Amino acid sequence: MNKPHLIYFADPMCSWCWGFSPVIDGISNEYGASLPIRLILGGLRPGTTEPLTETSSRDIREHWEHVHEASGQPFDFGFFERKSFIYNSEPASRAVVVARHRSMSDGLDFLKPMHDAFYAQNRDITDEQVLADLAAEVGWEREKFLQLIRSEEIRTETWQDFAISQNAGVTGFPCLIAGTGEQTGYSLVTAGYQPTGRILPAIKEFLQRPLAVGSPS
């Protein structure tokens, strides 16, 4: 991509990414198509097979409380009444990749109702039938969506995203980086949650630089 753009590493089952959702909206409202956002699925807990323990549930609840306090985003804490929940983020990531096949903006647009369903509505987005319901709610033909999410192509692309995230050294989400072209390097905007009031000035400053960090001299 040979113009200014952002790369957003996120996960549909990352609470801090749900907190960051209004920030992504703020960036889109401020810059629109002039600053494209490329979404890469980070792979928070892909392939998990063991149910949450009491300790891990307690830790996750603390994260949710911190996100709610920092961002104001709603949470349904009834989630913690679920028994033997397996926190596998891979199916939800595949669902977002299906949406991204239409366009990058469709992928970003679908991430938001996925977050809302899981965090604010206590819907189980590890279940592909729930994912198909969500897809139908935003205009997908349900059976076609199920066919795609089960395909080897989508599964492979999803795991390629996880590999890109790991190879880039991304260890937490949300992570947002900015670039001005393939040959000019990238600059970190944020590794972790920051409110819109901090992110927009950081992006503006980046765009005003004559060369990105890491660009050739």
Q: Domains of the chain, with CATH numbers?
A: 5-208 (3.40.30.10)
Query: Residue 8: beta bridge partners?
Result: 39, 176
**pLDDT tens per residue across all 217 residues of the chain:** 678 999 999 999 999 999 999 999 999 999 999 999 999 999 999 989 999 999 999 999 999 999 999 999 999 999 999 999 999 999 999 999 999 999 999 999 999 999 999 999 999 999 999 999 999 999 999 999 999 999 999 999 999 999 999 999 998 999 999 988 655 678 899 999 999 999 999 999 988 876 444 433 2
pLDDT reported for residue 214: 41
Pairing assessment for the beta strands 186-191 and 175-179 based on DSSP bridges: antiparallel
* 142: Cβ contacts below 8 Å, ≥ 6 apart: 132, 133, 135, 136
Cα 19 → chain centroid: 11
pLDDT reported for residue 209: 74
pLDDT reported for residue 213: 42
pLDDT reported for residue 8: 98
Distance CA 117, CA 94 (A): 16
